[in-house]
Amino acid sequence: MRCLVIKNDGIGDIVLFSGLLTSIASKFNGNVDLVTRKENYSIANRIPGLRKIFFAERDHVDDETIYEISGKNQYDIAIVPRRFIRKNVLKIMHNVSAKKKFCCWQYPTNLTHKEAQNASKDWKHMQGSESLIPEILYLQIFCQHALSCSLDSTPRLDIRDLTSSRHSTESKNHIGICLSGASSRWSYLHWLHLLEGIVEEGLQPVLFGSKHDLTFANRLCEKVKSIKSFVGQLNLEQTISEFSKLACVIANDTGLAHAASLCASKVLIILGGGTFHRFFPWPKKDNQFVIHHGMDCYDCEWRCHHNENLCLDFIEPDSVLRYLLRILRNENVPHILDLNNKAKNYPIAWRLSTGIRPEASTQPKQIEENTSFTESNGGLEMTVDAKDKKIIIFGTGPTAKKIIDDNIDQKELICSIDNDPRKINSVFAGKPIRAPEEIFCIEFDEILLASSQPLEMYHQLRGLGVDSEKIVFPFHPAISQ
- DSSP code of residue 174: E
The CB-side HSE value for 167 (13 A sphere, CA atoms) comes to 2
Question: What digits encode the pLDDT tens for the residues 321-350?
Answer: 999 999 999 999 999 998 987 765 555 554
Q: Give the alpha-carbon dihedral of 450, 454, 457, 458, to 10 degrees.
A: 120
- Residue 152 pLDDT: 94
Burial class of residue 401, CB neighbours in 10 A (0-12, 13-18, 19+): middle
More confident residue, 410 or 301: 301
Domains of the chain, residue spans:
3-147, 161-338, 389-472
Phi, psi torsion values for 121, nearest 5 degrees: -65, -25
Rounded (10°) angle between helices 255-263 and 236-243 = 50
Q: Where are the alpha helices (DSSP H) in 152-204?
A: 160-163, 166-169, 188-200
Contacts 24+ apart (CB under 8 A), 397-405: 397/450, 399/450, 399/451, 399/452, 400/428, 400/429, 400/450, 401/429, 403/448, 403/450, 403/474, 404/429
What does DSSP say about strands 374-375 and 124-127: parallel, antiparallel, or unpaired? antiparallel
Question: What digits encode the pLDDT tens for the residues 102-158?
Answer: 998 888 888 888 888 888 888 998 876 666 678 898 899 899 989 999 999 999 999
Assign a CATH topology to domain 161-338: Rossmann fold (3.40.50)
Is residue 387 scored above 80 in pLDDT?
A: no
Is residue 360 scored above 90 in pLDDT?
A: no
Which of the residue ranges 192-196, 284-288, 298-302, 382-386 would you say has the lowest mean pLDDT? 382-386
Question: What digits encode the pLDDT tens for the residues 100-116?
Answer: 999 988 888 888 888 88
- Report the alpha-carbon distance of residue 283 to residue 261 in Å, rounded: 12
What does DSSP say about strands 171-178 and 246-251: parallel, antiparallel, or unpaired? parallel
Most confident listed range (83-87, 276-280, 293-297, 462-466): 83-87
Q: How much is the mean pLDDT over the chain?
A: 82
More confident residue, 238 or 409: 238
Percent of the chain with pLDDT over 90: 42
CATH number of 389-472: 3.40.50.720
- Residue 355 pLDDT: 42
Most confident listed range (51-65, 177-191, 462-476): 51-65
Query: pLDDT class for 411, splitting at 50, 70, 90?
Result: low
pTM of the model: 0.73
- Report the alpha-carbon distance of residue 91 to residue 60 in Å, rounded: 10
Question: What digits encode the pLDDT tens for the residues 206-233?
Answer: 999 999 899 999 999 999 988 999 999 9
Assign a CATH topology to domain 3-147: Rossmann fold (3.40.50)
- Report the alpha-carbon distance of residue 104 to residue 107 in Å, rounded: 10
One fold for 161-338 and 389-472: yes
Query: pLDDT class for 31, splitting at 50, 70, 90?
Result: very high
For residues 1-24, average pLDDT: 94
Is residue 371 scored above 80 in pLDDT?
A: no
